[in-house]
Amino acid sequence: MDKKPQSLGEKDKGSMAKNGTKEMEAESPFYLCSKAHKPDQSIIQIGPVYVGSDELLIIAGPCAVESEVQIHETAAAVKRAGAHVLRGGLFKPRTSPYSFQGLGLEGLNFFVNAAKEHGLLTVTEVMDLTHLDILAQHVDILQVGSRNMQNYPLLKALGALDKPVLLKRGLSSTVEELLAAAEYILVGGNHKVVLCERGIRTFQNHFRFTPDISALPLVHELSHLPIILDPSHCSGRRQWVIPVAKAAIAAGADGLMVEVHPAPDKALSDGPQSLFPHQFQQLMDEMEGLAKALGRKLKRNKGNEKAHHTMPQANL
């Protein structure tokens, strides 16, 4: 695969992106995301990784930022194993209003400082428009959660930013709906979109969600956007995370987002699906060989401990 970031034509950056014209809409609800519009795979630079090339992006961290100590310990562990980006929810979309809702902005400093100290980039979920500015100012990648995939005002606001967006598939959404959601961001002028498969609802009830592995080659067929997989929310149980992660890479995923916690049994959210640090290390070790066998690369993050905290500009 070509490693060099592809540049988009001027028309994509300017007029075309801004004008969601009737003709485009008639052609496809995800025209700008489509291979028909841009046959070359988009490659988005996230720190040291060219996402969408042969390189794999590894995002890891707790479901939620719970305390300064917890996020620092997790950052140290995932960095040691070679992850590139630290995840951590500040605002948690919980099914029950009585469950832990996240530390909110109170956790932002802990999160950002932990990542900085260990040379990691950051991704967190932006649940609503009121927090967009502050999160965009401090965090490297903005995540749109599954439950917000069709929050159109939020997608439009993200389209106006020059910031990578991790867009998760809705838990009952089709691949076409996922791409149409991404289109809202692209049509606003922001082309730095990485998609994320996280499992969908089916009749089976052993898994929390069913990992839709076939969505990975389908997205690659329909769209030039990169797509990663979240094996943690698919599985709901930590013992299934590594096998599902391997299946995803084998099916062409451009990376993974994995929940890791220093003490999963004490986690305030998603403990049962969070890996212990040694299991994440095992996943990374096994993934390295698998990636090689598949013609992909897992470039572990060994960078300077005090590495860049500012997001390198994607070369689009």
164 binds, among Mn ion, ligand PEP, none (CB under 5 to 8 A by kind): none
Q: Where are the beta strands (DSSP E) in the chain?
A: 44-46, 49-51, 57-61, 85-87, 121-125, 141-144, 165-168, 193-197, 227-229, 255-259
Q: Does 208 bind ligand PEP (CB under 6 A)?
A: no
Q: Which is nearer to ligand PEP, 93 or 312 (CB)?
A: 93
Rounded Cα gap, residues 284 and 184, in angstroms: 34
Cβ-proximal residues to 7 (8 Å cutoff; 6+ apart), any chain: 315, 316
- Report whether 81 contacts 284 (CB < 8 A): yes
Q: Does 145 bind ligand PEP (CB under 6 A)?
A: yes
Among the candidate windows 26-34, 40-48, 145-153, 187-195, which touches ligand PEP by CB under 6 A?
Answer: 145-153
Q: Does 270 bind Mn ion (CB under 5 A)?
A: yes
Q: Which is nearer to ligand PEP, 205 or 310 (CB)?
A: 205
125 binds, among ligand PEP, Mn ion, none (CB under 5 to 8 A by kind): ligand PEP
Cβ-proximal residues to 307 (8 Å cutoff; 6+ apart), any chain: 119, 120
Q: Does 233 bind ligand PEP (CB under 6 A)?
A: yes
Residue nearest to Mn ion (CB): 63
Amino acid found at 237: R
Q: Which is nearer to ligand PEP, 8 or 166 (CB)?
A: 166
Q: Does 63 bind Mn ion (CB under 5 A)?
A: yes
Among the candidate windows 12-20, 38-46, 70-78, 140-148, which touches ligand PEP by CB under 6 A?
Answer: 140-148
Q: Put residue 24 in one of left, alpha, beta given phi > 0 → left and psi -120 to 50 → alpha.
A: alpha
Nearest residue to 235 (alpha-carbon basis) of 283, 194, 289, 278: 283
SS3 assignment, position 223? strand
| Residue 249 beta carbon to ligand PEP: minimum distance, rounded to whole angstroms | 19
Q: Does 93 bind ligand PEP (CB under 6 A)?
A: yes
Helices 152-159 and 175-187, interaxial angle, to 10°?
Answer: 40
Among the candidate windows 10-18, 123-131, 238-246, 270-278, which touches Mn ion by CB under 5 A?
Answer: 270-278
Cβ-proximal residues to 213 (8 Å cutoff; 6+ apart), any chain: 229, 247, 248, 251
CA distances from 64 to 53, 110, 119, 147, 262 (A): 29, 12, 19, 16, 12
Q: Which is nearer to Mn ion, 212 or 270 (CB)?
A: 270
| Residue 220 beta carbon to ligand PEP: minimum distance, rounded to whole angstroms | 20
Rounded Cα gap, residues 52 and 41, in angstroms: 7
Q: Does 84 bind ligand PEP (CB under 6 A)?
A: no
Among the candidate windows 22-30, 129-137, 143-151, 247-255, which touches ligand PEP by CB under 6 A?
Answer: 143-151
Amino acid found at 80: R
| Residue 62 beta carbon to ligand PEP: minimum distance, rounded to whole angstroms | 9
Q: Which is nearer to ligand PEP, 24 or 115 (CB)?
A: 115
| Residue 63 beta carbon to Mn ion: minimum distance, rounded to whole angstroms | 3
Q: Does 102 bind ligand PEP (CB under 6 A)?
A: no
Rounded Cα gap, residues 175 and 166, in angstroms: 15
Q: Which is nearer to ligand PEP, 50 or 91 (CB)?
A: 91
Chain residues that interact with ligand PEP, rule: CB under 6 A: 63, 89, 93, 125, 145-147, 168, 198, 233
Q: Can you give the binding site for Mn ion, defined by CB under 5 A?
A: 63, 270
